[in-house]
Amino acid sequence: MIPTGGSRWQRVCDPSQSGHTCAAPRCKQTKPERKRKTFKRWVRGTVGSLLAMLALTLPPVSAASPSPVGELPTRVAQPAIEVLEQETVSDFPDSLTFRLRARSREGDIVSATLFYRLGWDDTLTLARPAPFTPAPEVALGYTWDTGNQTVPPFIQITYHWQLIDSAGNVLITNPAQIEYTDRTHDWRSLRDERVVVYWYDRPDAFGQALFQAAVESYDHVARITGAGTPGPARVVIYNSQADFCVFYARDACQPWVGGQTFSGLTVQWGNDLDWFTYDVIPHELAHVFYGEIFRNTGVRVPTWFNEGIAVYNERSDHSREMAMVRQAAAEGDLIPLRLMGGRGGSVVHGQVGLWYAEAYTLVAFIADTYGEAKLGEVILTLAANTPIEEALRQTLGLDLVAYEMAWRAWLGYPVDSIPTPITLPTLEVTPYPLPTGARGPRPTDTPSSTPTPAEHPQDVAPAPTPPPPSRVACLPFGAVLLGALAWGVKRDA
């Protein structure tokens, strides 16, 4: 664990540095006013991927195979195109600037393209630098206007450049990794190869507790699945929602949002250390980790399973969830498994807490009865594009009905049969950020409109109002949850 104040990869635009010129509008020496941003999707996805593929089919890379910055390949005397210097300049939350200076030995550099991707996601975004005059040596720059998008602080960004000269030589630079550093606070961090936690204006003991919780939470998922992650999972903790909302696009940060999880990173705000270390961090880190495991999964990961494995990772004893579910079983109020997820689900306001508790017990039943290694098998089988019904059959020898009956028996309330599923009328499902730690207290404000999904939502948590009187809450959107819980978690391949 190495306490650090920021990334060693990234340099903040600083006019005082010699030899480094910053465009004036980008060089702010004081914290910019919190900026409300407009929602705008970037160019990405298919277009970026296709163009990336196109880049790889362009004429053979010249003498010029891709060369790392400042390092020449040993098998060629000298590449036709070489990188002289490259850097990124963060002006969080407004922009991130990429710069490159390159030279061709055989002609004018006539084309340049920047490709970048966020977190552990494979989706490439393509960007064109500012217009430049073709010449043997060029200085290129691209400023990504992050002020109009939701780009979380400290997210890992991997990028490369593609350059073409007039002789047809192509240079694709080696991928470089940076992080989008927020320097508007005096951030502190602790890291190892598994996790990185960021906090500010809190004692070291606060950060140590966050770090310890993050490590144990990460290790639990790693132990269950035997899997790893491409890099450390990042945890960013803000002290207030006002601070937290600064990275959101305009009108995208709703009052009820307490945190959001992205690819490789979760950002949360609050003040209750116990709530963070026992609930929030273990829950959200599970989403980060499992999000990576399911990243290329084409089959639908049921919402109840996705949330169940996250709640299962929380470090509390879960006695409250067990009591709630057993009471519901005793009173005949259990939400049937067929209504726990999938389109047409029907969890209504007032049952969210029970829904989460049941999701937990459905997962805990597997771990308790068959062992955590078997739970890991279920997860990995599902991740390998096996539908949940078949995954349960292959790993536990149970179809969905047998699974539900076994779960009921494990709860202490066996049944002789499971009612035949009722065909429900088709409901119009509205895409909606999934509730997560819906485990926070009931927010006091009820929004009057349906929240809009953020740009890269994996998991959006309601805002905490510490100290939490209860970890279970109605989500503030009431009946909208009817659609929300029907919205399965699926990662596009």
Binding site for Zn ion (CB under 5 A): 307, 310, 436, 459
Q: Which long-range contacts does 372-376 make (Cβ < 8 Å, 24+ apart)?
A: 372/223, 372/224, 373/224, 375/224, 375/309, 375/312, 376/224, 376/225, 376/226
Quote the strand ranges of 119-155, DSSP E: 125-127, 137-144
Minimal distance, residue 435 CB to Zn ion, in Å: 7
Minimal distance, residue 287 CB to Zn ion, in Å: 5
Chain position whose Cβ is nearest to Zn ion: 436
Minimal distance, residue 339 CB to Zn ion, in Å: 19
Sequence-ordered alpha helix ranges (H) in 83-147: none
- The smaller minimum CB distance to Zn ion, of residues 182 and 314, is found at 314
Token pair of 1 as six digits: 């664990």
Minimal distance, residue 38 CB to Zn ion, in Å: 28
The rounded distance, in Å, linking the Cα atoms of 443 and 473 is: 8
Minimal distance, residue 264 CB to Zn ion, in Å: 16
The rounded distance, in Å, linking the Cα atoms of 325 and 328 is: 5
Among 152, 217, 214, smallest CA distance to 189 is for 214
- The smaller minimum CB distance to Zn ion, of residues 358 and 459, is found at 459
| CA distance readout (Å), 167 to 46, 101, 140 | 29, 19, 19
> What b/e sequence results for 77-96 when a residue is b if at least 16 CB atoms lie within 10 Å of its CB, and e otherwise?
eebbbbbeebbbbbbbbbbb
Q: Residue 186, class by beta-carbon neighbours within 10 Å (0-12 exposed, 13-18 middle, 19+ buried)?
A: exposed
Q: Are 115 and 125 in contact (CB under 8 A)?
A: yes
Q: Which residues does 205 contact at the CB level (< 8 Å), separation at least 6?
A: none
Minimal distance, residue 485 CB to Zn ion, in Å: 12
Q: Which residues does 85 contact at the CB level (< 8 Å), separation at least 6?
A: 69, 99, 100, 101
Minimal distance, residue 138 CB to Zn ion, in Å: 47
- The smaller minimum CB distance to Zn ion, of residues 90 and 436, is found at 436
Q: How far is CA 11 from the centre of its chain?
A: 24
- The smaller minimum CB distance to Zn ion, of residues 284 and 455, is found at 284
Minimal distance, residue 461 CB to Zn ion, in Å: 7
Token pair of 244 as six digits: 């937290």
Q: Can you say whether the dihedral through the CA atoms of 372, 377, 379, 380 is positive or negative? A: positive
- Cis preceding linkage at 32, omega within 30: no
Minimal distance, residue 23 CB to Zn ion, in Å: 41
- The smaller minimum CB distance to Zn ion, of residues 163 and 379, is found at 379
- The smaller minimum CB distance to Zn ion, of residues 263 and 436, is found at 436
Token pair of 349 as six digits: 């306001």
Minimal distance, residue 453 CB to Zn ion, in Å: 15
Quote the strand ranges of 329-381, DSSP E: none
- The smaller minimum CB distance to Zn ion, of residues 310 and 366, is found at 310
- The smaller minimum CB distance to Zn ion, of residues 171 and 364, is found at 364
- The smaller minimum CB distance to Zn ion, of residues 162 and 436, is found at 436
Among 28, 41, 482, 36, smallest CA distance to 253 is for 36
- The smaller minimum CB distance to Zn ion, of residues 91 and 459, is found at 459
